[in-house]
């Protein structure tokens, strides 16, 4: 692999700004690291795009992040991780370390030995069957019930996370017969941690809920340690947040996902 230095940034990308939940968890775990975040707001959401389209977008975005000298690329989007991870490795595995949001979550769930679990995600993620395939590979007798929940991500981006509208949508999805007998639920979209408490309430705290934020942050830390690329210097880290389409509402919504406001830089890579 190409030689890297620990001071180089971590590149993180998503179809929009939902991946900021993952970026926030990474910075909590690794406060010395610099990050470069790219949200493809021009094409969001990826959840209703074809696999070929998603792969094309991801190749272009990763090329941009590599040009920014990133030592690691984190695919902070389940749709992109499901559709494009292997293609990105085929093209760029010698250029940087790669982490997706699917594998760490699958491994964490499999360690718990559940008999039946549910997965909620975008249409694009569910259509790949990736969570079911990977969970069954690790635990052949597990039952995996999958449900596409396409209204959740746009609902969350519009700020509907704790009101009558969000409750009605969520209750409709979670009350689906597919999820009737589950012992655990995987939140297979980086938007969904923001409604985790509402989901927990729906199930009256009786099932285990998993999301990818902390497990991905731990995977990033471990991989950097193994490759001697953890930034242990006392130099102040720098962070940049790019989007492929800019509106004031995108910038205002970053606080919902990141915990604090950030300045978005417009980077029109599609022109």
**pLDDT tens, residue by residue, 144-198:** 999 999 999 888 888 788 888 889 999 999 999 999 999 999 999 999 999 999 9
Say whether 119 sits in a helix, a strand or coil: strand
Among 73, 77, 187, 229, the active-site one is 77
- Which long-range contacts does 214-218 make (Cβ < 8 Å, 24+ apart)? 214/25, 214/29, 215/104, 215/105, 215/107, 215/108, 216/22, 216/25, 216/26, 216/74, 216/76, 216/99, 216/101, 216/104, 216/105, 217/22, 217/25, 217/26, 217/28, 217/29, 217/30, 218/29, 218/104
Edge-to-edge, what's the strand order for the sheet holding 97-100?
97-100, 72-75, 10-14, 35-39, 239-243, 264-266
Second CATH level (architecture) for the domain 103-212: 3-Layer(aba) Sandwich (3.40)
User: Which one of 126, 189, 243, 264 is the catalytic residue?
Assistant: 189
Model pLDDT for residues 172-187, shown as the tens digit of each residue: 999 999 999 999 999 9
What does each of the 271 residues of the chain score in pLDDT, given as a tens digit? 788 999 999 999 999 999 999 999 999 999 999 999 999 999 988 988 999 999 999 999 999 999 999 999 999 999 999 999 999 999 999 999 999 999 999 999 999 999 999 999 999 999 999 999 999 999 999 999 999 999 998 888 887 888 888 899 999 999 999 999 999 999 999 999 999 999 999 999 999 999 999 999 999 999 999 999 999 888 899 999 999 999 888 888 898 899 888 999 999 999 8
Does the active-site annotation cover 77? yes
10-100+214-266 against 103-212: fold identical: yes
* Sequence ranges of the domains in the chain: 10-100+214-266, 103-212
Q: Which CATH class is domain 10-100+214-266?
A: alpha beta
């Amino acid at each position: 692999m190409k030689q890297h230095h620990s001071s180089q940034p971590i590149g993180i990308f998503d179809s929009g700004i939902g991946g900021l939940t993952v970026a926030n968890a990474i910075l909590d775990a690794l406060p010395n690291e610099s990050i470069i975040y790219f949200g493809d707001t021009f094409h969001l959401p990826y959840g209703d795009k074809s696999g070929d389209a998603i792969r094309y977008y991801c190749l272009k975005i990763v090329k941009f992040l590599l040009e920014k000298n990133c030592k690691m690329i984190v695919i902070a989007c389940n749709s992109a991780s499901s559709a494009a991870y292997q293609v990105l490795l085929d093209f760029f595995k010698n250029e940087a370390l790669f982490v997706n949001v699917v594998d760490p979550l699958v491994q964490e769930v499999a360690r718990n030995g559940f008999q039946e679990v549910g997965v909620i995600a975008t249409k694009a993620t569910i259509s790949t069957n990736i969570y079911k395939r990977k969970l069954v590979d690790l635990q052949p007798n597990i039952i995996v019930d999958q449900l596409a929940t396409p209204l959740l991500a746009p609902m969350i981006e519009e700020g509907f996370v704790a009101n009558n509208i969000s409750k009605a949508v969520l209750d409709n999805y979670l009350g689906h017969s597919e999820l009737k007998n589950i012992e655990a639920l995987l939140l297979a979209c980086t938007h969904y941690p923001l409604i985790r408490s509402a989901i927990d309430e729906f199930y009256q705290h009786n099932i285990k809920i998993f999301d990818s934020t902390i497990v991905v942050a731990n995977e990033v830390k471990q991989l950097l340690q193994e490759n001697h690329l953890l930034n242990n210097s006392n130099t102040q880290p720098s962070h940049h947040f790019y989007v492929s389409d800019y509106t004031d509402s995108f910038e205002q919504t970053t606080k919902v996902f990141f915990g604090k406001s950030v300045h978005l830089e417009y980077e029109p890579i599609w022109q």
